[in-house]
Structure 1
């Protein structure tokens, strides 16, 4: 009871920064929020909620936790629009979709409140991604949606953490192995896919494992449509799978755990719903490899696993 919101926010910040999935601490923060949220500023609530999505953790009192967040946001949504969309994004990453709040943030009143503000672009980016998430994961929602004229790509470049840590990443090693394995024309690196998800490597592969040269433009795939067909010269069709190879470095996981951070997990979830096949290349597997030949063998094995999965599905 004696802990102040400022102190609790510092604890939350430390947990998130160091990716500590300390469930007891997180549950304590959740209890604090349930008791105090109506007395807290939206920006403080945002700081307290963030570690839950960051650590991809739903607290033990999740029903009361989400109910409290929704009730408070209904009252305070307009007070700090940027904090509001950040909180909603955290809930989306945790797989919780607050219908009443969505009605507010997609409303003309909310949009008009932010459109001429200094943070208009970042709010539009969040709203665009939220709108895509609704399309993909919240079929029952029938309220207002974000107008096309306000939609922008969430990201158009690598995330800051990936840029800062690039020299520690295994991506360069994987890129060279992939270049030797399939050739530069048969994969795209650092591609940003609608609705704005940054990817490591994109490949087009058929059921037999052949890798095809990639065209320069990409269509937005229909949610739930798992495969696309390309016409063959003989007039038939062949299934082409869009494959995303994801180099999951240490900072993409919770500390000392094999659980992806919430933003990464939601990205993968959405890309799958958009029809992409995700191939995970976790750092704890890559760090065991010695030299380019072992990495090439590792990638061959990953591609072979895909063939077996696809063959089994077709059979």
Structure 2
């Protein structure tokens, strides 16, 4: 009898995401084992328990998935998992805390596609403002944008201190420069929008971060992305299903939550399937998710 495909899911929180469990099952993983309350210091022993118990042949049918909500901690846990393994005891790894890696990858890839359609350009040299950007998706999207030559700016309604702390910690962890700005009042928000060529609304569900009058001040705006599918929209005038629709009152096109979510879903499925199907162990994070999102948008099947 062939050994089953076993995926171990690590989370620092009290429960694993049902979304991740369903996605992993649909990608062909047969045994799903959740581990909750996992600290970074726990990772090495858990990983070694997983790899030594199955031997080198069983490694090909074993995977480790890192979830949770803290994107910086997830990166640390992924690094510790890699360090805990050595040939021939090596298994595939994937991280997607709070879905932030795949969501941010899909959002950034959709943005680049829209920029290419609009003026033939990409993110190089663009001013990218992330509203509500101190959360998991905003931080990783900022990293992806910065690595592609954009000037990424995290905006926070809680003020400059919150934005600066998130930008500094994230930039240090991933080796990029990320700026910060307060959007705590209308004046600060509009000053930030006045410079932006791309705006990404990544705040919580049902939170509008920019109204029509605010967006009218964004004279350089080319692409507006809104991840909020719960009314009211995060960016006024951007519908959840919009995918390159002109945004009234601006020179931009809008991309809505469902358009991004469709790509995110395909990317996460592809990552989990790649872990299971790969003949050699793979390590999959937000850069790999971004590359897959670009492939999906280019029309390649996954």
The TM tier, using the shorter chain, reads under 0.3
Larger radius of gyration: 1
Which TM-score applies when normalising by structure 1? Answer: 0.26
Larger RCO of the pair (alpha carbons < 8 Å, separation 6+): 2
Higher percent of residues as strand: 2
Using structure 2 for the length normalisation, give the TM-score: 0.27
